[in-house]
């Protein structure tokens, strides 16, 4: 049984902890954080299903005051695991890496860290084999994770050489008061980092794109214009490929999936904790052909989309499965992916 720890029990960290707890071939040893945040307080109210360790700088008295049991120090946690999933705030992971390196423990970092923090910039489908046995992986950001799932899906089925994307990006997570109360759109300098990141993981595809921030919190939407290496991809061919992918949920507007909020509401109706969705959504009625290009739109549930690919990262780094196909199949089985296909 592979032993895993999580550093930073925030938006991503609590979902990583849940994700690991669901993998029957992994054991979640514990989580580490700095402050008695709402997420930590909720953990205590749930009976501390995960052991808590404190990172350096944490004020233990504050945890004691709140009656939150503490199981030890960050070093104690690192000493008990095979791999750390670091989901501390962007930039902090690079500092934590020094502790992981000293203890000889592998680690997976999230999108907010610089690429230089890791040996391999990783995606469970597109470059699993590169991460095989690696000591330090960095996961793609939420948008890039979902984007690559869909681009890799078409690329494997038909071969792509070019994509152009537009990202309509949620500006904050629910409850992010520090981002302010906004009512404006803001555009980033092009090309967006997600297009550049895609090329770093899939160098055979030329990618570019534009990103627009929007004052919403429930998911990003990305439109993708993709060009095949040879010939052209029809709408039916694209749909056929997307429907076979276990991390892509194909939906229709006419069934009620009108936008990002529909996915969030549907996830809550399914009873998914926090309204999480591991899969990206893809609208069947928004796949269109334009000359030699195929165009489609996907929904990215930013808080939970990177969890499956992070589980794949554990499998790669610790050589649990030899290739993407077998690794993603294990992760998907334990996370209950593609239940929607069984009706
Ligand atoms: N929020 C998203 O939608 C999203 C999506 C994909 C990737 N990411 C990436 O995931 C990472 C974490 O983002 P988040 O949104 O979960 O942040 P967050 O602010 O919600 O959580 C960070 C947690 O780390 C804790 N922390 C602070 N200092 C620490 C330290 N020294 N060691 C350990 N923990 C510490 C904080 O108390 C907090 O609980 C970032 O790299 C981010 O870019 C975020």
Question: Considering the domain 142-300 in this protein, what is its CATH number?
Answer: 3.30.360.10
pTM of the predicted structure, to 2 decimals? 0.89
**Integer Rg of the chain from CA:** 20
Which ligand 1 atom minimizes the distance to the CA of 9? 39
Question: 268 C-alpha to center of ligand 1: Å?
Answer: 23
Q: Whose CA is nearest to atom 8 of ligand 1?
A: 111
* Residue closest to 155 by CA, chosen among 201, 209, 202, 191: 202
pLDDT score recorded for residue 134: 98
For the Cβ of 33 lying below 6 angstroms from any atom of ligand 1, the answer is yes
Q: Determine the atom of ligand 1 nearest the C-alpha atom of 110.
A: 41
Tell whether ligand 1 has an atom less than 6 A from the beta carbon of residue 16. Answer: no
Indicate the top mutation candidate among 39, 41, 87 to test ligand 1's pocket, ranked by most ligand atoms within 8 A of CB.
Answer: 87
- CA neighbor of 51 nearest in space, from 79, 19, 17, 85: 17
Architecture of domain 2-140+306-342: 3-Layer(aba) Sandwich (3.40)
Long-range Cβ pairs for the range 184-191 (8 Å, 24+): 184/215, 185/212, 185/213, 185/214, 185/215, 186/212, 186/213, 187/211, 187/212, 187/213, 188/212, 188/213
pLDDT 10s digits, 290-336: 999 999 999 999 999 999 999 999 999 999 999 999 999 999 999 99
Residue 174 pLDDT: 83
Mutate to test the pocket of ligand 1, among 9, 10, 57, 114 (most ligand atoms within 8 A of CB): 10
pLDDT bracket for residue 22 (50, 70, 90): very high
Does 35 sit in the ligand 1 pocket, CB within 6 Å? Answer: yes
Nearest C-alpha to atom 11 of ligand 1 is from which residue? 87
Can you read off the two tokens belonging to residue 227? 């060009």
For ligand 1, atom 40: residue with the closest CA: 112
Check pocket membership of 310 for ligand 1, CB cut-off 6 A: no
173 lines ligand 1 (CB under 6 A): yes
Extents of the domains making up the chain: 2-140+306-342, 142-300
The pLDDT of 20-39, averaged and rounded, is 98
Q: From the CA of 273, how far away is ligand 1's center (Å)?
A: 19
- Is 10 near ligand 1, meaning CB less than 6 Å away? yes
Ligand 1 pocket member 128 (CB < 6 A): no
| pLDDT tens-digit map of 63-76 | 999 999 999 999 99
Atom 41, ligand 1: residue with shortest CA distance:
112
Model confidence at 343: pLDDT above 70: no
Query: Helix, strand, coil shares of the chain as percentages rounded to 5?
Result: 40, 25, 35
The model's pLDDT over 168-224, given as tens digits with 9 standing for 90+, comes to 998 888 888 888 876 788 999 999 999 999 999 999 999 999 999 999 888 999 999
User: 302 alpha carbon to ligand 1 midpoint, in Å?
Assistant: 13
Q: What is the pLDDT of residue 227?
A: 98
In short, whether 34's Cβ falls inside 6 Å of ligand 1 is yes
Query: What integer best gives the mean pLDDT of the chain?
Result: 96
**214 alpha carbon to ligand 1 midpoint, in Å?**
21
Nearest ligand 1 atom to alpha carbon 10 = 21
109 CA: nearest ligand 1 atom: 41
Positions marked active-site: 142
pLDDT tens digits for range 80-118: 999 999 999 999 999 999 999 999 999 999 999 999 999
- 325: tokens are 């196909």
Q: In what order do the strands lie in the sheet with 52-54?
A: 72-73, 52-54, 26-33, 2-7, 83-86, 106-109, 136-139, 120-122
The reply to whether omega before 40 is within 30° of 0 (cis) is: no
Average pLDDT over residues 126-131: 98
Three-class SS state of 285: helix
Atom 6 of ligand 1 has which residue's CA nearest to it?
Answer: 142
* Nearest CA residue ID for atom 42, ligand 1: 112
């Amino acid at each position: 049984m592979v032993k895993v720890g999580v550093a930073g029990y925030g938006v991503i960290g609590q979902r990583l902890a849940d994700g690991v707890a669901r993998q029957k071939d992994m054991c979640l040893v514990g989580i580490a954080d700095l402050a008695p945040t709402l997420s930590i307080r909720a953990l205590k109210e749930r009976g501390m299903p995960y052991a808590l360790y404190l990172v350096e700088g944490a004020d233990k008295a504050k945890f004691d005051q709140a009656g939150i049991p503490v199981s030890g120090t960050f070093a104690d946690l690192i000493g008990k695991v095979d791999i750390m999933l670091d989901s501390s705030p962007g930039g902090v992971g690079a500092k934590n890496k020094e502790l992981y390196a000293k203890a000889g423990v592998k680690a997976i970092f999230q999108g907010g860290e610089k690429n230089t923090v890791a040996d391999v910039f990783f995606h469970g489908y597109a470059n699993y084999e590169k991460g095989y046995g690696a000591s330090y992986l960095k996961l793609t950001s939420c948008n890039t994770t979902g984007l690559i799932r869909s681009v890799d899906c078409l690329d494997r089925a038909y071969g792509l050489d070019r994509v152009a994307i537009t990202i309509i990006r949620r500006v904050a997570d629910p409850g992010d008061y520090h981002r302010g109360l906004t009512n404006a759109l803001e555009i980033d300098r092009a090309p967006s980092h997600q297009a550049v990141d895609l090329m770093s993981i899939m160098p055979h595809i030329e990618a570019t794109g534009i990103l627009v921030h929007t004052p919403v919190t429930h998911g990003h939407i990305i439109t993708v214009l993709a060009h095949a290496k040879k010939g052209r991809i029809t709408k039916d061919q694209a749909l056929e490929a997307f429907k076979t992918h276990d991390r892509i949920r194909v939906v229709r507007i006419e069934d009620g999936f009108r936008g990002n909020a529909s996915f969030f509401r549907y996830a809550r109706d399914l009873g998914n904790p926090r309204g999480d969705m591991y899969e990206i959504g893809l609208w069947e009625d928004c796949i269109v052909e334009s000359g030699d290009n195929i165009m489609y739109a996907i929904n990215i549930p930013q808080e939970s989309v990177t969890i499956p690919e992070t589980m794949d990262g554990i499998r790669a780094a610790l050589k649990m499965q030899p290739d993407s196909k077998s690794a993603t199949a294990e992760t998907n089985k334990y996370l209950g992916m593609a239940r929607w296909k069984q009706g």
